[in-house]
């Protein structure tokens, strides 16, 4: 299916740093980053979907799959129409989707998953600290309450982690999420740069640096 977007998934528990790494990568020519949570947060809060998002996210639950994947597909299509994302030039870096096995199945027709970067953080205390810092900085209701953070963790363990078993083991790469953003980025780049070079002709070449 040649029309599927060539994709790398950023995977990991809440607070592992998917968004931080994704945002940095998205600044590099040849990469396009899309965070599903960000797309949800930009919705009009008074729209039906905006209200649905608020209802689920404030409890730490996942928004229902059908509406999530539909919204994601419409959003990425809009990015291509605006030429913000160019599927023939850019490697798509997805974070926050697919978030359960059903979403992975629904996404099958849209994306070709080349590699999965699993940001691994075994220090739960550190992750809670990261999320609570973010709650203050970004005014995020779903990070403010410890009970909601813990619920999101359970949802991750029960629904999201099994996504790793859905994809072939060979494409899953574990990256240690502990360390400075730059240190983690170094390891992330080791994985994604070869993938990008293999699948895309780098027309920018040396000219991009001038």
Q: What residues make contact with ligand ADP under the rule CB under 6 A?
A: 14, 18, 36-37, 40, 56-57, 60-63, 68, 96-97, 99, 103, 142, 152
Q: Which is nearer to ligand ADP, 6 or 68 (CB)?
A: 68
Task: Give the integer Cα–Cα distance in Å for 192 and 54.
Answer: 33
For ligand ADP, which residue has the nearest CB?
Answer: 37
Report in angstroms how near the CB of residue 32 gets to ligand ADP at its nearest. Answer: 17
User: For residues 130 and 64, what is the distance between their CA atoms, to the nearest angstrom?
Assistant: 26
Look up residue 166 and give its two tokens.
Answer: 């859905």
Q: In angstroms, give the least distance from the CB of 117 to ligand ADP.
A: 14
Judged by DSSP in three states, 111 sits in strand
Nearer to ligand ADP, 32 or 72 (CB): 72
* Residue 30 or 96 with smaller CB distance to ligand ADP: 96
> Which residues, at least 6 apart from 38, have a Cβ–Cβ distance to it below 8 Å?
19, 96
Q: For 96, which DSSP code?
A: S
For residue 131, the minimal CB distance to ligand ADP (Å) is 7
> For 133, what's the count of Cα atoms within 13 Å in the CB-facing half-sphere?
8
**Nearest distance from C-beta of residue 133 to ligand ADP, angstroms:** 12
Shortest distance (Å) from residue 202 CB to ligand ADP: 30
For residue 11, the minimal CB distance to ligand ADP (Å) is 10
| Torsion angles phi and psi, residue 63, rounded to 5 | -70, 145
Q: What sign has the CA pseudo-torsion 38, 12, 181, 73?
A: negative
Compare residues 134 and 196 and give the one whose CB is closer to ligand ADP: 134
DSSP state of 207: G
Distances (CA, A) of 65 to 86, 102, 138: 26, 7, 25
Judged by CB, which is closer to ligand ADP: 135, or 193?
A: 135
Query: Are 14 and 131 a contacting pair, CB within 8 Å?
Result: yes
Nearer to ligand ADP, 20 or 196 (CB): 20
């Amino acid at each position: 299916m040649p029309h599927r977007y060539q994709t790398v998934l950023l995977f990991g528990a809440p607070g592992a740093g998917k968004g931080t790494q994704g945002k940095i990568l998205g600044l590099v020519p040849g990469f396009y980053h899309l965070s599903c949570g960000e797309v949800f947060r930009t919705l009009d809060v008074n729209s039906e979907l905006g209200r649905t998002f608020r209802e689920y996210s404030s409890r730490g639950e996942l928004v229902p799959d059908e509406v999530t994947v539909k919204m994601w597909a419409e959003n990425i299509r809009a990015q291509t129409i605006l030429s913000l994302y160019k599927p023939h030039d850019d490697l798509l870096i997805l974070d926050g989707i697919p978030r359960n096995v059903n979403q992975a199945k629904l996404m099958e027709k849209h994306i070709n998953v080349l590699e999965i970067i699993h940001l691994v953080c075994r220090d739960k205390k550190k992750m809670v600290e990261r999320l609570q810092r973010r709650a203050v900085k970004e005014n995020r209701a779903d990070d403010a309450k410890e009970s909601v953070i813990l619920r999101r963790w359970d949802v991750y363990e029960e629904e999201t982690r099994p996504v790793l078993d859905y994809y072939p083991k060979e494409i899953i790469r574990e990256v240690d999420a502990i360390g400075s953003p730059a240190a983690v980025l170094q390891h992330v780049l080791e994985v994604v740069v070869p993938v990008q070079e293999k699948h895309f002709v780098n027309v920018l070449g040396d000219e991009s640096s001038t």
